[in-house]
Each structure stands twice: as structure tokens, then as C-alpha cells.
Structure 1
Amino acid sequence: MDDYFPKEMNGGGDDAPMFSEIFNLDPNETAVPVPREETRLSESEIIEKFHRILRVAKDIKASDVFLKVGVPPAIRLDGIIQFLKFDDITERETRIILESICDRYLLEEFRNEHEVDTAYQVEDIGRFRVNAFLQRGYIGFVFRLVRFEIPTFEQLNLPVEPLMRIAGERRGLVLVTGVAGSGKSTTLASFIEYINQNFNRHIITIEDPIEFIYTDKRSIVEQREIGMDTRSFSTALKHVVRQSPDVILIGEMRDKDTMEAAINAAETGHLVFSTLHSTNASQTVDRILNFFPPHQHNLIRLQLSMVLKGVISQRLIKRIDSLGRVPAVEVMTLSPTVRKVLEEGRFAELPKIIEESEYFGMQSFNQSLVSLVKKKMITREDALANSDDPDKLLLEFRGVSKSSGHQDIDDAKKKAADKRRKRSKDLLGD
């Protein structure tokens, strides 16, 4: 794998020309030193190079690809950014890549907004969620790899029984939460695919952009993309209840209107899934309330106490038993106690209730972290770093054998390192 990653980036160079074909910008106003192309590649050769970068990222199981003018392409592997051994990205290359992945509508949006979200698929390589943007006057990209095959709950190491129970609900609101890059979209896709395989439902997704592609099984799945199929989340949600859905997926809760429409749809007999940038169940409820003015909080709490069927919060942690990362997961379901606490606004009590409600399929982050350490999938140090209550987690670790635990973890680390070296040899052919 070392052949992919240089020890230091290549040098700089003269200023590259600006992309006047897209923007009427004065090159003197944005002077960023970037290297000139020593050999001018044809457009087809640039696309071929671009696809080679994406293939390398897929082969080494990277989660993200970064393209920035003036430096080599970079990837995020197991949460760590590393530069690849390719030539520095040029301004001309980014312009040609943008024109190859965007249609006229998206190019117009980029011209107006200076950023755009879309999806890009390459046969035999994969599907990517793409964000293109301007930085210091030049085009930049982030590509997030999206699997062709939608993983199951088991494959994602998620708590299967409670999630299956939530997926079987006929109405309500289900939120998957976590920081950016914590696997929320993949977990949502697993929910939708589980319903698709096991229930007779009409499922409508509203996404920006469409990431996973579903094939109808027992359900009908219709996917709407913001910009292409509808103007906005709020516009789509105004009409979605007239389209006879049983299940609605909203890619992200971005504003008050979207949240309000989602709660109303859940109240009127639909099962609504979405994501939110929050770290745990109690913070999730606070975030929901903060969408609304104070005079509406009592009403929103009452509505949540009736419709919030589940909050799944997750954090990805580097594995020591194999390649990649594994989720630590908090699960809150709507038990009678949770319903009463939500209605009365006693959110500070939720962590204790979650910890003591295994019967209702709940689990705390600490319980998930202890389980992962006992299975020798993560280190104690990483578990403590990802805990909301590390002092309490230290006490829980007393149930884990210190003498055998550290030795087994050392063995697991060695096996993971051996797997990484083998993967490098397989990819490089040496």
C-alpha cells in the first residue's frame, strides 16, 4: 500500500489559469499557487486518471476521496486522511471532471451557488455521493463511496432485534443520528431495504442526492431527488401524503418546515425515517425542540411523546480485529417511561432510562462500548474516548478480565496489522 501513499506531497509551481468557461472571475483576485501541467492530457485521459483514483479508493476500502487543485488526490481510510501517489490535481482537470459528472441543470446550480451535491456512478467501480465546491477560487471535490449492495443490520454490526422491531412499525418517526461520516445514510438504507424485503409497503424517499439504489421486492420503492424530481424537501413533503405512501424517507432534517412536516406525516399514519446531526437521544430531542419557537415547545413535546418510535445514535470506531470501523450504537425506543419523560420535558433522565430498559430493546453507548471491548473489536482506550460518561465506563470495565483482555487485544491488533499488510500486497501485486 505504500506505493499509493507518498511521504510528502509534490512541490508547487506557477499559477494555473482560472476556469473562465464557468465563472466570470478575475484571475488577479484569486491567486493560488498551483502547478502547471507538464504534459497536457486529453479530456479522455483526464477522465481515465480520475477513474483510476476512484478505483484505488474502492480497492483499499476508503470512505472518501478528496480532489484539490495543487496537491495530489487524497483519501480517508479508517478515518485517517492520506495522500495518494498521483500527480498534483490541476485546475483544468477539476473543470473537466465537474463537466463530466454534472448535467446542465447542476452546472447552472454550481454557477449560481458555487457548490452542488450530486451522485456519480462508474461501471465496475462504484457509486459515489459527490459534493463540488469552490475553495479560494478553484473547484474542489469530496466523493463519498456508496455501496452497490445495501448491507444488512447484521453486516453493519447493528443491534438486530430492536431495529427489526422498529422497522415493523406502521406509523411514527424514526431518527438515525450522529456526526458527519458516522454511517447514518447506510443505516437508513438498511432500514428501507429490510422493509422492502419483508413487508408489502409503498416507500417514497426524498434525497439530496439519491445514494443507494433500491430494487422493488415485496415493496414499491420510489426515489425522488432534490433538484431533479422536486424543488426541495419542504415542497416534496407538502405533496407526499397524497402519493399514498406507507413509509417516507427524508434524507436529512435541515429546518423547521421539514421537521414539522415529518412529525405531521408520522401523526397521520406514516412511518417516517430521517437523519439528524446529534450525538445521542437526549441531544436529539433538544435539537428537535430548537427548530421551533419556545411557545410551541409544549405541543412538540406532546407530539414526540406519541410519534417518536426510535432514535438510533451511532459513532464509528476503528476496529482492532479486522479492517475498517465498527459502530457503537445507542438505541432509544418509545417505552411508557420514555413517553412520559418526553411529554414532561425531563430529557436529562433519558440516559438512565435507556440504560435500564433492555426489555424494550434499548441500549446505552456505554453498554455498546463494553460489548465491543468484550468481543475484542475495539480497544478500551477508544471506548473511553467515545463514551459520554467515561468514568462510569471505567467501572463497567471491571467485569472484563484485565489479564486475558489485554493479551487478547494485542493478538487482535497483530492479526489486523497482518490483514492490512496482506491487503497491500494483493493490491500492489508484490
Structure 2
Amino acid sequence: LINTQYRRHIITLEDPIEYIHATKRSIVHQRGMHYDIRDFASGIVAALREDPDVVVVGELRDQETMKLAVSAAEVGTLIFATMHTSSAASTVERMIDVFPDDEQPQVRAMLSQSLAGVVSQVLLHRLDGERRVPATEVLVATPAVSNLIRESKVPDIYSVIQAGKGLGMHTLDDSLEDLVGRKLVDPEEAYAYAQNKARFEKAMKGAMSLDVPLQNPRPKRAGE
């Protein structure tokens, strides 16, 4: 979207490079692990020397990479990054918990000022057998969210997401319920990923008139 609509300098740090992004309105430079950069941390340092508007970090794997990414965001660089987490709140918690206890207050303060939002997703099998479909959770970093991060009340973020639909936020369970309601995914697979299982089961019984309790099956693997 940025590349097609804005004149920006974008640098991506990837492991590996899977798609080639053609330069459109923006200038895009893609850097691959082990070819152009040694690791993501050194890649961020090198990228910032080129005065980018946007840096895409393939994965925030360690404390050094996270600190560099947050520091870069603080000075105005737009940072996109991925983490292996299951929800918006757990993403924020992971970014803080990776640091020693004595550094966490400073990290919370930095993150509360620089975080713009979090999008989490899980991939479910479509009922028609074609590909997969994402269930998502969206957090927008409102002043209320920033305060919760700064005050070490990250678990309360879930309540803010529930109340923030007018701002474009939604929980993972909202997305799962929507997919089941549109008959795109198996209710039992959706239930396996639900965060509030009691609420989800109640909602699904009302929507689909299930006569038996939903089970908690092992999520299906690719190819099953």
C-alpha cells in the first residue's frame, strides 16, 4: 500500500526474501539474511544509516533487535515487524518481558510512545478445502492503550480491544465467530483457537444451534 500510494524509502530485512517488491511510487530495497545482512539487529543499524522512511523487520527474535526497532520508531521511522505470538496483548508482553526487570520500566515508556498498533492472526482451514483463511485480532494504540503499557497493565488491553470496535479494533474471538457465522471454517477448529472459550461456545450455540458441547481438538496441520 505504501509503495503504491506514497513516495517513500522502504528497506526490508528478510529471512529469506520470498517476494520481490517492484519499485512503484516508493523506492524499495530488500536485504536478505546471510547475503546482505548478518542478522536483523545489524540490518537495522545499517538500514538507519540510509535515512529510510520505513523499515520492515522479518522477525523480532531477541532483545537487541527489539530495542533497536523501538528506538528507531521513537525517532520517527515507521517500523513493521513480526513475532510468533498468539494475541495483541501477548505481543506487547513479549516485547517487554524479553528485557531484564530493571530495564522494563524504560522499555514500557518507550513502547507506550512509539507503538502504533498490533495485528495478530491464525490460519484456519476453509470448509471448501481451498487454501486457508486468517482469523485476526487488531489493536490500535490509543491513549488508553499507551497508558496501560506504561502502567504495566498489559492484560487489560483485551478489554480496550473489545470496546474499540468503532476505532477498527476487534478480538480474535470476534473474527473467529464471523468466520464460523459465514460458514467458512469448522466451528471446532475455530473453538481450538478461541481465547474466551466459554463465551465463544455460548455464541456459537446461539448462532448455529449446536446440540452438543464443542470439543477442543488438535488444530489441523497443513495437508490434513
Q: TM-score, normalised by structure 2?
A: 0.89
Alignment of 1:324-403 (within 5 A): 324-402=131-209
Q: Aligned equivalents of 2:57 and 2:122: distance in 1?
A: 21
Equivalence for 1:255: 62
Quick one: which of 51, 58, 61 aligns to 1:244?
51
Contact 1:335 1:360 in 2 (8 A): no
Distance (Å, rounded) in 1 between the aligned partners of 2:38 and 2:177 = 45
Distance in 2, Cα, partners of 1:231 & 1:315: 29
SS of the residue corresponding to residue 345 of structure 1 reads coil
Q: Which stretches in structure 2 are left out of the alignment for 5+ residues? A: 211-224
Alignment counterpart, residue 18 of structure 2, candidates 211, 229, 237: 211
1:402 deviates by 2.6
- The 8 Å contact of residues 245 and 270 in structure 1, kept in 2 or not, is answered as yes
Q: Deviations over 1:200-254 (max 9, x none)?
A: 1110011122111100111110011122112222222222222020000111111
Q: Partners of 1:330 and 1:343 in 2: how far apart?
A: 21
Q: What is the distance in 1 between the residues matched to 2:116 and 2:58?
A: 18
Task: Indicate the structure (1 or 2) with the bigger Cα radius of gyration.
Answer: 1
Letter of the 2:32 partner, please give it. Answer: E
Q: Deviations over 1:386-409 (max 9, x none)?
A: 101110112222552538xxxxxx
1:316 lines up with 2:123 in the alignment: yes
**Would the aligned equivalents of 1:321 and 1:376 in 2 still touch at CA under 8 Å?**
no
1:256-275 map, 5 Å: 256-275=63-82
Q: Distance in 1 between matches of 2:50 and 2:161?
A: 36
Q: What is the match of residue 154 of structure 1?
A: none
Name 2:41's counterpart in structure 1: 234
Whole-angstrom distance in 1 between the partners of 2:71 and 2:32: 21
Aligned residues, how many? 210
| Cα separation, 1, equivalents of 2:57 and 2:20 | 15
Kindly indicate whether the alpha-carbon contact (under 8 Å) linking 1:331 and 1:354 is maintained by their aligned counterparts in 2: yes
SS at match of 1:249: strand
Superposed structure 1 runs of 4+ greater than 3 Å apart: none
Candidates 108, 112, 127, aligned match of 1:301? 108
> Which whole-Å CA distance do the structure 1 matches of 2:43 and 2:185 have between them?
42
CA distance in 2, matches of 1:299, 1:378: 42
SS at 1:338 equivalent? helix
1:181-196 equivalence runs, <5 A? 194-196=1-3
Once the two structures are TM-superposed, the CA of residue 327 in structure 1 deviates from its matched residue by 0.7
Q: Which runs of 5+ in 1 are unaligned?
A: 1-193, 404-430
Equivalent positions of 1:60-139 (< 5 A) are none
Query: Identity, % of aligned pairs?
Result: 38
What letter corresponds to residue 12 of structure 2 in structure 1?
T
Deviations 1:22-53 (A, max 9, x none): xxxxxxxxxxxxxxxxxxxxxxxxxxxxxxxx
Structure 1 residues 214-223 or 285-294, which shifts more? 285-294
Q: Is the 8 A contact 1:351 1:364 kept in 2?
A: yes
CA RMSD of aligned residues (A): 1.4
2:96 is equivalent to residue 289 of structure 1: yes
| Equivalent residues of 1:196, 1:216 under 8 A apart | yes
